[in-house]
Amino acid sequence: KNYLYIASWDKLVDIKQVQSLSVITWDCSDESLLRSRCWSTIVLEEAPDIINLFQYVQSIFDFYNAWSEKIQEAIIEQKSIQSQLDICTQVLQNPIALHDISFVMIARSGYIPPDTDDPIWAGILSKGHGSLEAIPKEYRNITELCCESRTPLAFPPLGTSSEHRFICAALMHDDVPFAHLALTELKVPFTLGQLSLVNHIQHLLEHSMQIPVAPRDFGNGNSYVITQLLHGSPITDELINYSLSRQHWSNSDYFYLIVIQSLQKDEITGSSYFSYIPRIREVMPNSYVIFDNGKVLVIVRSQRKINFQEAIYDTLSPFLHRVDPVSYTHLRAHETVLDL
């Protein structure tokens, strides 16, 4: 099933029933027999130049193999999930979104017109999360359906008429879903090829988001310095000042550390960490966020002292409650980053 065969129909007609066979053929004299075999088949109108056809087919494989290798390299290098998703969409003709299990958007990629009338994308762009109300009632159990299939599904299925079709895939760990991939026919109608590409993306991102990540901020390059400070490791003042200047921060500013920790027995995982980022960024867009030892750490800077604890509980807590109702925010205030 992992091969594509190129042969004239007279070379295939005597082959016994084989499941999942993929072929390119021509001069097909018995289409009913071909359909009965349930092969994945491309039937050419006339006999081709075999060598040219083979080279053309091989070039397609080379293109998609190179694309897949780019994603794998980004995973190995622990690039941000946004960077990985941007590579994924290089071969998709429709934009794609990555949501947490409660359909809050973690990242998206691909151009979406700001005035789109797509009911699913319009809600995501305005609210930052998907809404079940935008999904037809018969498909509101999409998580269960995708978990059962373990492959991306189109709703309604391909081949049926629909004004607003979408594809959804559940990312899972130990048979438990932790995120979703979703896209709609915003630009072009879906094909089996797009469904196959989403299936490949699903498996790659499942692997990526389960890799234990080093403490880091997605979108920032100063995680080494912050991690050294948090762990009390030696580090020079010159490196600290340089790292702060890259953030347009100063050692004379006031710094506050927020520790977000779950009350549940299990620690916050590297994959569920992604669920916290959008809400923290919405409330504190210039904060520094890292994941360390089962906790989400947020560093906020101010040029003056503030009643920080009251401000955080009024702004951040409602957002965190939507991510994890049993989370709590433990606050500690520090005057300089050296005190961390």
Chain centroid to Cα 59, Å, comes to 27
pLDDT score for 169: 93
Alpha-carbon separation of residue 334 from 229, 257, 306, 311, 319 (angstroms): 13, 7, 11, 15, 24
pLDDT score for 213: 45
pLDDT score for 219: 40
Token pair 């927020």 is found at 258
pLDDT score for 335: 43
SS3 212: coil
Report residues of the chain scoring pLDDT below 50.
213-221, 325-338, 340
pLDDT score for 231: 66
For the chain, the C-alpha Rg in angstroms (whole number) is: 25
Chain centroid to Cα 203, Å, comes to 11
SS3 278: helix
| Burial call 281-292: b when 16+ CB within 10 Å, e when fewer | bebbeebbbbbb
